[in-house]
A and B are shown apart, each in its own frame.
Chain A
Amino acid sequence: MKVIDGVRLVMRKKISAVAFWTIILLVLMAIFAPLIAPYPQEATGTPNLKARLLPPSWEHPFGTDHLGRDVLSRVIYGARTSFVVGFSVVAIALLIGLPLGLISGYLGGKFDMIIMRLTDVFLAFPPLLLALLISSSIGSGMFNAILALAISWWPWYTRLVRGMAISVKQRPYVEAASCMGISQVKIVLRHVLPNSISPMIVQATMDVGSAILEAAALSFLGLGVQAPTPDWGLMISEGKNYFLNYWWYPVFPGIALLVVVVSFNILGDAVREFIDPRLRRRVI
């Protein structure tokens, strides 16, 4: 029993460390893409028709696509789009969802009812459908993809925060604060908010990965980022036709997607563990 327990603990820590550093590395890679990518012009779109569909080699470690562009460079640049979309979606969803959740949970009554019905409405929309609606009305592209996803995402955060806010507002220290004449606003900001966001932080961390995945799905369907912008979903979509004979085309962006999403999930788990025992530091 002793050995297995120890191994588990170490593994857990190692994996979270690995996940954490992977993400950091990838973000840095995205930021410094022009410096890292071997063929930056190709990545952003300049085709090289003489080098079409070449298999992985020293010059092109990930091979080239159907327009001769270096896949490695495109994957590196694709990280930019992915991270921008992922973080933006979560950030916007938080910006909308967090205040609404707090208001809904803390004030209750009519506010709660209205906001909850609102979340019901938005939750009823599958993100894909929403993206379709948006792109058919105001066109497609990265920004619209972000919009579509954020709109379908915020209700989850509202619900999470609301649940916590409801339980936190009943705690004695909140009551004590109102006994001391502290204004409602300050109570919410200083007492309710910090104690309501832990589950949301965990969820948000994991959601960056999920958002990236959903965005890739949108691009795959042609509803998000458009060609020639380098984007993993788009690359998979374009590459799927060439999969049988030129496997490297869709596979490498696919692996990149996998790595990123899994890393965020693991990181989210680690965040949850980190937050929890810290709040209950007493032993037994």
Chain B
Amino acid sequence: MIEVRELKKYFPVKIGVFKRPIYLKAVDGVSFSVDRAKTLALVGESGSGKTTVGRTVIRLYEPTSGEILFKGENISTMSREEFKSVRTKMQMIYQNPYSSLNPRLTVFKSVAEPLVEHSCAGVRSRVYELLDAVGLSVEHANKYPDELSGGQCQRVAIARALALQPEFLVLDEPTSALDVSVQAQVLNLLIDVQKEKEISYLFISHDLSVVRYLSDRVAIMYLGKIVEIGFTDDIFDDPLHPYTKMLLDSIPVPSPGRKRGRLHIPLGEVASPLNPPTGCKFHPRCPFREKQCVEEEPDLIEVGRGRLVRCHFVTQREV
């Protein structure tokens, strides 16, 4: 469905009037694919570039280089005109439910807007259909966003995104701003919608437990690159990259049995993307660091069934 090859997005940052701008390499060579009706999760902390990837894939940002293929067609080089028709097949769900909706429009108007824009017939019934599909009723249609709860707003956003029958959805932390109990409702809704409409998801999150619940495959990102990618169960049961291990170990687990006998204590903090370390970007925080790691950046290498890891230590051990 979606294939991304060596995607790069650099942001120029001016550091002085007369100096040439330096580049913030938000996304630095990312490749992955998402199959029909499947979910790929992009996981990372701040500065990892995961949000930028999401935005660039649907061309809200123009890629600096690389290819994005949607159903075989290269959309990264299309003109804006050509892209318009494809654009409607790719939608996005945002983190903050309240700012996803125009506070001046009623729920009905918000959901109807894409339909009206594309001159669809039977707008009214279609809107009610969509609201019903996300678990909202006709009563909600005339309300304004500030009269709804966070969970309800997010459902409206989903209904609106589904209006044009998209085939690909980028979900940018869709449940992070919601309460735990509401989160479950929205997650289940997303799963049901995916099954029914066969939509592919790019699920961006920092919450690993939600990721495990929802996704088929996971890609862990660090400072603009993917450091590990594979099937969800494989990665969670047997993480290979030191950063993945550190992430998994850092999540507080809601079962008190597992106390503080930590194996992979996180060291340091995420480096700034403006001034990344040499060689392997993770080396300053890595307990397995060796000389090679400081000098040479590892490639993403396949080490198992659909599993790729970017780490000298791991790939050499496997070999």
Residues of A near any B CB (own CB < 8 A): 171-173, 175-182, 186, 190-191, 194-195, 279-282
Contact = CB atoms under 8 A, between A and B. Distances in A.
Residue in A181, A194, A195 whose Cβ sees the most chain B Cβ within 10 Å: A181
Interface string B86-97: 011011101010
Contacts of B161: 176
Given A175-B92, A281-B147, A181 B99 contact: no
A188 to B, nearest CB: 12
Given A181-B117, A181-B118, A176 B92 contact: yes
Given A179-B58, A180-B117, A181-B87, A172 B94 contact: yes
Closest 4 CB pairs of A and B: A172-B94, A180-B114, A194-B104, A172-B100
Scoring B90, B101, B102 by chain A CB atoms within 10 A of each residue's CB, the highest score goes to B102
Interface in B85-132: 87-88, 90-92, 94, 96, 99-105, 110, 113-114, 117-118
A180 B100 contact: no
B60 interface: yes
Nearest to B90: A179
Contacts of A172: 94, 96, 99-100
Given A181-B117, A194-B104, A281-B146, A176 B160 contact: yes
Interface residues of B, number: 29
B294 interface: no
Nearest to B118: A181
A281 B147 CA distance: 7
Most chain B beta carbons < 10 A, residue from A178, A180, A194: A180
Contacts of A280: 146
Contacts of B147: 281
Contacts of B308: none
Q: Which of A171, A173, A195 has the most CB of B within 10 A?
A: A173
B281 to A, nearest CB: 29
Given A172-B94, A173-B102, A181 B84 contact: yes
A175 B60 contact: yes
B157 interface: yes
B164 interface: yes
A195 B104 CA distance: 7
Contact of B103 (A175, A178, A182, A195): A195
A97 to B, nearest CB: 21
B103 A279 contact: yes
Nearest to B116: A182
Nearest to A193: B104
Interface string B139-163: 0000000110000000001001101
B87 A179 contact: yes
Given A179-B60, A180-B113, 10 more contacts: A172-B99, A176-B157, A177-B102, A178-B60, A179-B91, A181-B87, A181-B114, A182-B117, A190-B113, A194-B102
19 contacts: A171-B99, A175-B94, A176-B91, A176-B92, A176-B94, A176-B160, A176-B161, A178-B60, A179-B87, A179-B90, A179-B91, A180-B91, A180-B160, A181-B87, A181-B114, A181-B117, A181-B118, A182-B114, A282-B146
A171 B157 CA distance: 14
Nearest to B60: A175
A281 B148 CA distance: 10
B146 A279 contact: yes
Interface string B28-48: 000000000000000000000
Nearest to B100: A172
Nearest to B101: A173
Contacts of A194: 102, 104
